[in-house]
Amino acid sequence: MISAESGDERYCSQLSNGSAYIQADTTASKGGSGDYFRPHDLLCAAFASCLNITVRMLLEKMGLKYDKVVTKVDLDRSQENQALFLYDIQIIGDIDTRIKEEIVAKALNCPVKNTLSRNITFASMLP
């Protein structure tokens, strides 16, 4: 579970999973400092980190050595009823292009993408 607590700065929130802490904020144009992740940045970060971890797990499972895995995610919310996640996955290392493409295709089944692809509903935890 993640908890968010208001911080000293205007819209800054201290986020915790119980053992690690990060901060979130909004842009300066919306009254925040703009110094921290925005909530939508955190959504992209969840997908980007899950893709990255999944690619590395697949590479390790296949016994393939790599130099680095770089994943990038952006969110296009310009359409009223659509959220479009744009992603880029780079596997840097001496691995055949065909194998890299196979790994990327498999990585798109990462847990966060699968969760975001479900029908999402919201419910209060309070009785």
Give the pairing type, strands 84-92 and 13-16.
Answer: unpaired
CATH at 70: 3.30.300.20
| Amino acid 56: pLDDT | 98
Does 6 share its domain with 24? yes
Q: Mean pLDDT of all residues in the chain?
A: 96
| Amino acid 8: pLDDT | 87
**pLDDT tens, 10-23?**
999 999 999 999 99
The answer to whether position 62 is within a domain reads yes
| Mean predicted confidence (pLDDT) in 69-91 | 97
The answer to whether position 100 is within a domain reads yes
Inform me whether the pLDDT recorded for 101 exceeds 90.
Answer: yes
Does 14 share its domain with 75? no
Percent of all residues in the chain with a pLDDT value above 90, rounded to a whole number = 96
The answer to whether position 121 is within a domain reads no
- DSSP-assigned states of every residue in 54-121: HHHHHHHHTT---SEEEEEEEEE--STT--EEEEEEEEESS--HHHHHHHHHHHTT-HHHHHHTS---
| Amino acid 7: pLDDT | 83
Does 45 share its domain with 57? yes
The answer to whether position 95 is within a domain reads yes
The answer to whether position 126 is within a domain reads no
Query: What total number of domains does the chain contain?
Result: 2
| Amino acid 77: pLDDT | 96
| Amino acid 119: pLDDT | 94
Does 48 share its domain with 32? no
Does 46 share its domain with 73? yes
**Collapsing DSSP states into helix, strand and coil, what is residue 126?**
coil
Inform me whether the pLDDT recorded for 102 exceeds 90.
Answer: yes
**pLDDT tens, 33-52?**
999 999 999 999 999 999 99
Does 107 share its domain with 62? yes
Q: Domain range for residue 19?
A: 1-37
